[in-house]
Each structure stands twice: as structure tokens, then as C-alpha cells.
Amino acid sequence: MPQFARRIGRAKPSAIMLVAEKARRLKAEGRDIVNFSIGVPNFLPGLHVYAAAREALVNDSGQYGSNRGSDALLDAFLAHLQRAGMADYGRTNIATGIGAKHLLYNLAEVLLDEGDAIAFATPYWTSYLDIAEILDARIQQLPCGSEQDYKLVPQQLDAALAMKPRVFLFNNPSNPTGMVYGRAEIEALAEVLLRHPATWIITDDIYHRMIFDDVGYHNFVMCRPELRERTIFVDSLSKTYGMPGWRVGFMAGPESVARAVTTMNSNHITNLPEVTTAAAIAALSGPQDVPAAKRAEFQAKRDQVMAVFDAIPGVRCPRPQGAFYVFPDISCAFGRRHAPSGRVIGTDVDLCDVLLDSKGVACVPGTAFGEPRALRISYTCPTPQLAPGLARIQEFFAELA
Ligand code: PLP
């Protein structure tokens, strides 16, 4: 058989999916499983979104569409940006893609040559590392452990950017930690970014409509408009509108970058489908009550999860203020024995495995996000499952000898 390209040897299947598959298998075998593993919002968009999709089907043109995205969709994204506090962008600053992941992949192709460095905070969202590895970029990880609330601090960013990475990739609110940067923190990081003009800035802010406690959403461009010429904002409908399977994302940034991403689109996806486009426009332009209600629901669920982790001796859990994740540092369990199963917990992977086998609760080991002292809870499961799932986790820790 002829050889594969080298890059596919560097591509790995998602660690999150491996946990989710085991949970699914156990469930199929009849086990009672509470799944805290998959980062899906677990709600459906409003009825107006389905109505728009049906209407688009009836009026289907049957043609290829624009590589950049239809004008109506670009305009809907511009209005969405304005609502988030970002004015002064036009259609030529926007490009669309098959979800934020596709945009991030496209941007990495556009901005990074083999061997160029990309810097990001650790813990990171898994695909940041995977995409960089596939493209053979150099990865500069900036460790942000629980002791610094999983957040980047200005001195750390300054030192990292002094090494002139081509790209700095930032995520706010964060997956996996749920942490949110407040105005003063974003301002301080923006000051550092200003001092390092050789680096592109990508802000993956797909959870920016899920911010709690009135912290508000802030980004570098709002604080320092000078950064606009090298900052690319990435967003998607997946989490905000409960539409992960519809696959719609976009970027807003310099015209040259939007044009390059459009060129990439012209060479693989060609265009977003018409029906999807219509649904996306309806979600962005129609009533905004679903995302607003979900934000309130997730904040209450965050409180419920935190009440449990705050009560487990030895577990340190910085309080998230956004998205739908909690990322407790569970390293206090290492070296201890889970009495009922007799298994010794050596690592986060062991802990998640024993927790799943013994209590039927699926969480993702922090190793998947570059932080082996933690695990990730995604708390969007149906509400009646949340309290029992958390009670089982509490029970599990109480059983460690
Ligand atoms: N960025 C972050 C931080 C995410 O958590 C995810 C999905 O989990 C994505 C990007 C990808 O989102 P999309 O569904 O738009 O591709």
C-alpha cells in the first residue's frame, strides 16, 4: 500500500470522544450513566429557526453559493457583532465556515507555515493542540494552573510573546475551565499585546453570550482598537443557539485575513448550504430569548456544581463565570485507593475510569486539555440528572482511603 502523508500520523482521535464512547457503551449494556463528558449545550433552537429552514427548502435555488457566505448571513453576523459591542466591521471583514473549528483550522492554514510557533494557555481546548500538530506548527504552551485560577497573567504573556510566535490564540470564556477574563484583566493583556506587533491574535470567544455574575464580555479590540489590524475574532452558533450540528461559524478581522479564509473555502467547502444559512440568519436575527434563558439556567447549574466541589475536602476548584464547564483540581486523590473497587488512583485518567466504572459518571480527564491534575465536568445534562450525578461524585471522593 502507498504511504500516507506524514501529517495524518500526527492527527489523533479526540480524547473526549473516547470517554463519551465508553459511556455510551456502558449505557447500551444497561448501566445507569450520567454523562458529564460532552461539551454540548443540550437544547434546541427556537421554532423560528426550523420555520426558516423549511422555507429555504421550499425556495431552494439548487446553486452553489458565495465562498465567503451570503450577504444576508454576513449582515446577520455584523448585527450580532454590534450587539456584542463590536462596531465598525463590514462584510469584507467577515468570512464564514463550517463551525468555529473549521474557521480555526482555516486560520491556522492561512497564518502558520510549518515550524512557526503558536502560543496558547494551558489548559487549552483540545483541537488547538491537534490542529497545530497536524500543521506541524511549533506549540508554545503557557501553563495556567489552578493556583492562578487557570488564567494568563500579563508577565507570562509578555515573556511568551518576546519569543515572537506567529499566532497567539486566546479563549474567553474558556473551555475547559469556564473561567472568564474581566475588563481589567483584558485591558492588562491588551497592553502587552500592543508591545508585540509581530504576532497575530485569534480570540475564540464562542461562549461570549454565556457569561455570568454580570462580569460582562470584553475583548482586546474593545479595549485597544489599535489591535484590530491583527486580531481575528472567531464565533459560532453552536453553543449560543443550541445548534452544534448545524455547523455555522464565522470570523471577523482584517480584510486580508477574511479574503484568505474565503479563498480556503473556495478550495474545499465552496459554501455553507442554503438551508443552514437560512437557519443561521433566523437564529441570529430572531428572538433572543433562548440564549438568554439558557445563560440563566447555566449560571444556576454552575452554582449547584460548585456547591458540591467546594464541599469535597482537598479538591480545589476555581469558580467559573461562563460557558458550561467546571474544572476541579482533583490531584488530592492521587495515590489513594478507592475502597469499594480496590483500585488505586494514580492519575486523572484512572480517576475518570474508576468513577465511570464504579458510579456510572462520565467526566473527561484533564490530560485531554493539557492539565493532568484536573477533570472537566460539562453540566448541561438534563436537570433531573445533575443532582444525582454530583451526589455520586461526592460519594466517590468519600470512598477514597
Ligand atoms: N472553540 C471552543 C473553545 C470550543 O469549546 C468549541 C467546541 O466545543 C469550538 C471552538 C468549536 O465549535 P464549533 O461547533 O463552532 O466548531
pLDDT, tens digit, for every residue of 261-275?
Answer: 999 999 999 999 999
Q: What is the DSSP string of 188-213?
A: HHHHHHHT-TT-EEEEE-TTTT-B-T
Ligand 1: atom nearest CA of 236 is 15
CA distance linking residue 119 with residue 167, whole number of Å? 6
Domain 47-285 in CATH 3.40.640.10? The answer is yes
* CA proximity to 46, closest of 242, 323, 235, 250: 242
Residue with cell 445548534: 243
By the 10 Å C-beta count (0-12 exposed, 13-18 middle, 19+ buried), 88 is classed as: exposed
Lowest mean pLDDT among 6-20, 197-211, 229-243, 357-371: 6-20
Confidence tier at 236 by pLDDT (50, 70, 90): very high
Confidence tier at 18 by pLDDT (50, 70, 90): confident
CA distances from 93 to 149, 193, 236, 250, 375 (A): 34, 21, 16, 10, 38
Would you state the pLDDT for residue 12?
Answer: 75
Report the percent of the chain where pLDDT is more than 90.
Answer: 94
Taking the centre of ligand 1 as the mean of its atom positions, its distance from the CA of residue 324, in whole angstroms, is 12
Taking the centre of ligand 1 as the mean of its atom positions, its distance from the CA of residue 99, in whole angstroms, is 7
Confidence tier at 19 by pLDDT (50, 70, 90): confident
Would you state the pLDDT for residue 39?
Answer: 87
Residues 6+ apart with CB under 8 A from 212: 180, 295, 298, 299, 302, 321, 322
Strands 34-35, 94-97: pairing is unpaired
The pTM (predicted TM-score) of the whole model is 0.96
Confidence tier at 21 by pLDDT (50, 70, 90): confident
Peptide bond just before 13 cis, omega within 30 deg: no
Q: Are 328 and 316 in contact (CB under 8 A)?
A: yes
CA distance linking residue 381 with residue 35, whole number of Å? 7
Taking only the tens place, the pLDDT of each residue in 23-80 is: 999 999 999 999 999 889 999 999 999 999 999 999 999 999 999 999 999 999 999 9
240 lines ligand 1 (CB under 6 A): no
Would you state the pLDDT for residue 9?
Answer: 86
Taking the centre of ligand 1 as the mean of its atom positions, its distance from the CA of residue 264, in whole angstroms, is 19
177 lines ligand 1 (CB under 6 A): no
- 6-44+290-398: what CATH class? alpha beta
Question: Residue ranges of the domains in the chain?
Answer: 6-44+290-398, 47-285
Sheet containing strand 325-326, strands side by side = 325-326, 375-378, 364-365
Alpha-carbon dihedral 96, 100, 105, 110, rounded to 10 degrees: 40
276 lines ligand 1 (CB under 6 A): no
CA distance linking residue 305 with residue 320, whole number of Å? 10
Distance of CA 64 to the CA centre of its chain: 30
Residues 6+ apart with CB under 8 A from 214: none
Q: Which three cell numbers stand for residue 112?
A: 502558520
Taking only the tens place, the pLDDT of each residue in 205-217 is: 999 999 999 999 9
97 lines ligand 1 (CB under 6 A): no
Position 325: which residue type?
Y
99 lines ligand 1 (CB under 6 A): yes
Ligand 1 pocket test, pick from 128, 172, 206, 233 with the greatest ligand atom count within 8 Å of Cβ, gives: 206
Q: Which three cell numbers stand for residue 77?
A: 453576523
CB burial of 119-153 (b: ≥16 within 10 Å; e: otherwise) equals: bbbbbbbbbbbbbbebbebebbbbebbbeeebbbe
Residue owning the nearest CA to atom 3 of ligand 1? 175
* CA proximity to 92, closest of 272, 264, 256, 255: 255
